Amino acid sequence: RKEVEQDPGPFNVPEGATVAFNCTYSNSASQSFFWYRQDCRKEPKLLMSVYSSGNEDGRFTAQLNRASQYISLLIRDSKLSDSATYLCVGHTGGFKTIFGAGTRLFVKA
Amino acid sequence: SQTIHQWPATLVQPVGSPLSLECTVEGTSNPNLYWYRQAAGRGLQLLFYSVGIGQISSEVPQNLSASRPQDRQFILSSKKLLLSDSGFYLCAWTLDSRSGYTFGSGTRLTVV
């Protein structure tokens, strides 16, 4: 089983839609989590950190469910510019961080 | 502010040739440094990480090596490239992994 698993998608949604991605992790010792956004042929960029109670940033909300070992990312009022690959990341407290393979999102007009 | 520089942006190399990719970080001290590789349409594979000068941890046994000759410099090398070494190589840094990583702009390597 992979340490961090994501649905690869793609998710195809119209502008204005709400879309949610889930990510599961296998290491219960994982302490901190992140969502990164990666545009085509570009480097990943940190979108949000997710700690014990989750957090919200504008149209984006990230939640952590430790009991079920998953994190989620909710995007409200999707924009064309939200089209990208979203990477889920888990960190166990050492020097390594495990990246999921990513979920592709296409927002269409 | 902190910045990370990675070069070259694109590289086409023949099989069997050597490789040297360089990454430097500015505006911080004693960062944790990482090399990742991303194959086309795939996730990020951790290759090496370093928590200090001369300290290199390897995650994947292969024909690549890394060095950290200075605090903010991280180099990825190979003596003889294989076709399977093609990919998108990303350098990243962090001071504290709870803060997330900052990536360089990457090097797209094609081995022919």
pLDDT at B61: 64
pLDDT at A75: 97
| Nearest residue of chain A to residue B90 (CA atoms) | A43
Mean pLDDT in residue range B14-31: 96
CB atoms within 10 A of CB B9: 10
Of B32, B43, B100, the CB nearest to A49: B100
Mean pLDDT in residue range B70-82: 96
Structure tokens at A102: 């990513």
Burial class (CB in 10 A: 0-12, 13-18, 19+), B112: exposed
* pLDDT, tens digit, 9 for 90 and up, residues A47-105: 998 877 789 999 999 999 888 888 999 999 999 999 999 999 887 767 778 888 899 99
Residues 6 or more apart whose CB falls under 8 angstroms from that of B45 comprise B36, B37, B38, B39, B59, B60
Burial class (CB in 10 A: 0-12, 13-18, 19+), B87: buried
Structure tokens at A2: 């992979």
Q: Are A102 and A85 in contact (CB under 8 A)?
A: yes
Over chain B, what is the mean pLDDT?
93
Q: Does A52 touch chain B (CB under 8 A)?
A: no
pLDDT at A24: 92
The closest alpha carbon to A81, from A56, A105, A60, A98, belongs to A105
Q: Is the pLDDT of residue B41 over 80?
A: no
Contact check, Cβ <8 Å, B32/A95: yes
How far apart (Å, rounded) are the C-alpha atoms in residues B74 and B22? 6
Residues 6 or more apart whose CB falls under 8 angstroms from that of A106 comprise A10, A11, A12, A13, A83
B32 to chain A: which residues are within 8 Å by CB?
95
**Nearest 5 degrees, angle CA B37-CA B67-CA B43?**
10
Contact check, Cβ <8 Å, A43/B100: no
Q: Is the pLDDT of residue B62 over 90?
A: no
Q: What is the CA radius of gyration of chain B?
A: 13
**SS3 per-residue string spanning B3-47:** EEEEECCEEEECCCCCEEEEEEEECCCCCEEEEEEECCCCCEEEE
The closest alpha carbon to A28, from A87, A100, A86, A93, belongs to A93
B35 CA: distance to closest CA in chain A (Å): 11
Q: Does A41 touch chain B (CB under 8 A)?
A: yes
Mean pLDDT in residue range B22-50: 92
